[in-house]
């Protein structure tokens, strides 16, 4: 866990680590929080929510890009475009499913099957 987290972090957490305690129990430690701002998306205007989503997506993409060794991944995928096409097909299908899910969500709100608090 610690090694994977170190790979994914944009900056190091000096308190991130592990130790073995009495009786062989393993303990994981990390700094819980080191941020000066805690966003509340409920207070965002549409443009702020979009900007926050973009920043969050960029941080997530960066973490995922850092967690794999590109040489074995490239060797596994090979030179064909099969993986590219499969990933693109999955993304398109997932996008379509998201649209269907949102339509069902809106219908549930409109019919009263799902309550919404404002």
**pLDDT tens readout for residues 81-99:** 999 999 999 999 999 999 9
Q: In this structure, what is the dihedral angle of CA atoms 32, 37, 38, 43, given to the nearest 10 degrees?
A: 180
Helix or strand or coil: residue 63?
Answer: helix
pTM: 0.47
Q: How far is CA 63 from CA 21, 29, 78, 93, in A?
A: 30, 20, 23, 24
What pLDDT is stored for residue 38 in this prediction?
Answer: 75
């Amino acid at each position: 866990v610690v090694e994977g987290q170190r790979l994914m972090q944009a900056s190091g957490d000096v308190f991130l680590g592990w130790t073995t305690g009495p009786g062989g129990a393993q303990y994981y430690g990390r700094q819980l929080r080191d941020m000066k701002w805690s966003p509340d998306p409920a207070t965002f205007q549409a443009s702020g929510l979009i900007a926050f989503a973009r920043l969050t997506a960029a941080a997530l993409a960066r973490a995922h890009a850092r967690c794999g060794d590109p040489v074995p991944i490239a060797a596994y995928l090979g030179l064909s475009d099969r993986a590219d096409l499969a990933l693109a097909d999955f993304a398109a299908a997932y996008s379509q499913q998201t649209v269907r899910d949102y339509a069902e969500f809106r219908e549930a709100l409109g019919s009263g099957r799902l309550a919404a608090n404002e």
